[in-house]
A and B are shown apart, each in its own frame.
Chain A
Amino acid sequence: MTSSADPPITTGGIAWPRIVLPIATLALGILIWDLVVGIKDIPPFILPGPGLVAATLLSDWPLLWDSLLVTLVTTFEGLALALAGGIGLAILFNQSRLIEDSLYPYAVILQVTPVVAVAPLLLIYLPQQAAVLACAWIVAFFPILANTTLGLNSVDRNLADLFKIYGASRVSVLLRLKLPSALPYMLGGLRIAGGLSLIGAVVAEIAAGSAGAGSGLAYRIAESSYRLNIPRMFAALILLSITGIAIFLALSLLSYLVLRRWHESAIASER
């Protein structure tokens, strides 16, 4: 009745086109890319063919891998801080109207100000690594804050009454009712924040690029651009995309694993 009846995510007939079709589209795109480069005889410093990009990815792998690790560490540190900051602030806002009214506008300002414009300033006042981290944090924390705030305010009113009837303390209401209610929202925010944190890290690395000390993946792109090493730019770009996809998939999986027993979003249609 319980866990054994839970089907895994649909692996039946519906899922295959959703896997095969994007891959076919990708293959088609690469084919056209290759053909255009071949037929028009475009030089590699303007547009390298997919074969050359793949070769560069392999030959430059040690360099790119080290850079990828740097960017990944920044991304996850930013994400972790965003998670802590976003949830922490949301809880604070939820507990005190005064704090919410005083601070929420600034959280919005932080979000709507383009991080590209903020990054150079941060780089002046902070050590480079800290500035990059700060950029990742600034863009990643808002979706978590906004979603968690929404979640904490979306508590079932009858359940809230029930807690009141049994004289639950504020802490008890927060831990047993509000945070579990907000969990699906938080995970939704986290999924958005994961991608944004990578973007924040990349933007800051690009901005810091001219300062020269960085060695993240975005720094490699900037550096390759100065040297007109276009194949490496493409290789680094592809690596960044794959990283973004991997982060999204990993966070989606996390969300599914956490919610699969009870939340509608994670339940396969079984009607």
Chain B
Amino acid sequence: MPAISAGMTAEVRFDHIETRATNTSMPPAAEPSAASAPVVTLSGVTKKFANGTLALDYFDLTIRDGEFVSLLGPSGCGKSTALRLIAGLSEPTGGEISRSGIGRGGRSGNRLDVGFVFQEPTLMPWATVFRNVMLPLELQGVERRAARRRVTQALERVGLASFRDAYPRELSGGMKMRASIARALVTDPPLLLMDEPFAALDEITRFKLNNDLLGLWRAVGHTVIFVTHSVFESVYLSSRIVVMTPRPGRVFTELVVDQPYPRDERFRTSAEYARHCRIASQALSRAMEDGSPEGVS
């Protein structure tokens, strides 16, 4: 098994990540072990908007520690709604969400400790990259010197150290997204929520960021919930794929991608990858056709 992915050797800035990834003994994330503790559990969650739209209907999902789970489905299937519910940005109209793994202790009470990456980079245009990444720490009242150190570290992780004083408009789409990821990681959250973060990027940039994201995930060891409408992206990244039905959003089926990490460009062209993509693709088209949940294919 190659320790360094092809995508990463091309990117010198990421070199220290591989060192960390190979040195730390990571749990074998390819096989989502039922033993690891659930971080988030959604049981029978229903979300009906004020305009009557039923976004989620009896949505069940358990995310375990260290997993990389993709929510895969067509647009309008409630993927983003599910993510927003998990992040506490909106409240479910029915059902229950337990977030045992992501509560934050201490003086800030029961606030959630999650990182959120939006579809757009969502950077403050009036602030430099450094100030943007520092924002979560400032809002949480982290002491200034410690905050600066953590921001520097987060920027190094995503390869933006030399762009710390640039303004968002001076960055390319991919670099903006890196800054956004650095901001989500700067608080070291146990759970990272990503809402189609790479959907607006070109394919070359997307592949590169896919590789870098996997590198970060293995290095940092947090749990990731990744919303996407791309079969290929979900298979490449995830240890588990949750296929959703549109209108109302339900879990159609779950697919385990039992392929080992680290995954690299070789995996992207392998027969196993193609096979998983085919399975996921078929599941997705069935989910869009009849919409009723069924067993795992």
Contacts and interface: CB of A to CB of B under 8 A. Distances in A.
A159 B116 contact: no
Given A1-B170, A158-B120, A165 B126 contact: no
B126 A172 contact: no
B125 interface: yes
Nearest to A156: B122
Contacts, number: 62
Contacts of B116: 161-162, 165
A16 interface: no
Contacts of A263: 125-126
Q: Secondary structure at chain A's binding surface: helix, strand, loop or mixed?
A: helix
Nearest to B109: A167
B167 A2 contact: yes
A192 interface: no
B120 A2 contact: no
A158 B124 CA distance: 10
Interface string B116-158: 1010101011110000000110111000000000000000000
Contacts of B127: 180, 262
A interface bracket (residues with beta carbon within 8 Å of B)? 20 to 34
A177 interface: yes
A262 B168 CA distance: 8
B165 interface: yes
B163 A176 contact: no
Interface in B100-117: 108, 111-112, 114, 116
Contacts of A183: 126
Question: Which of B87, B165, B170 counts the most A-chain CB atoms under 10 A from its CB?
Answer: B170
Given A2-B166, A2-B170, A167 B122 contact: no
Contact of B125 (A2, A162, A164, A262): A262
A168 B118 CA distance: 18
B125 A165 contact: no
B108 A167 contact: yes
A47 interface: no
Nearest to B84: A161
B28 interface: no
B89 interface: yes
Given A158-B118, A262-B125, A172 B167 contact: no
Interface string A227-271: 000000000000000000000000000000000011110010000
> Interface size class for chain B?
20 to 34
Contacts of B76: none
A177 B124 contact: yes
A173 to B, nearest CB: 9
B13 interface: no
Nearest to B123: A159
A261 B129 CA distance: 13
A125 interface: no
A186 to B, nearest CB: 13
A162 B167 contact: no
Given A158-B120, A177-B124, A180-B124, A165 B166 contact: no
A180 B126 contact: yes
A205 B122 CA distance: 49
B220 to A, nearest CB: 18
Contacts of B84: 161
A183 B88 CA distance: 29
Interface in A12-43: none
A106 interface: no
Contacts of A159: 122, 124
A208 B112 CA distance: 63
Contact of B140 (A5, A156, A167, A267): A167
B20 interface: no
Given A159-B122, A183-B126, A164 B89 contact: yes
Contact of A165 (B89, B138, B165, B169): B89
Contacts of B140: 166-167
B169 A166 contact: no
A163 interface: yes
B163 A1 contact: yes
A262 B169 contact: yes
Contacts of A172: 139
Nearest to B162: A1
Contacts of B139: 163, 166-168, 172, 176
**Interface pairs A-B: 6 shortest CB-CB:** A166-B139, A158-B122, A158-B118, A262-B125, A180-B126, A168-B139
Interface of B: 84, 87-89, 108, 111-112, 114, 116, 118, 120, 122, 124-127, 135-136, 138-140, 163, 165-170, 187
19 contacts: A1-B166, A2-B167, A159-B122, A159-B124, A162-B118, A162-B135, A165-B114, A166-B139, A166-B187, A167-B140, A168-B139, A176-B135, A176-B139, A177-B124, A180-B126, A262-B125, A262-B126, A263-B125, A267-B169
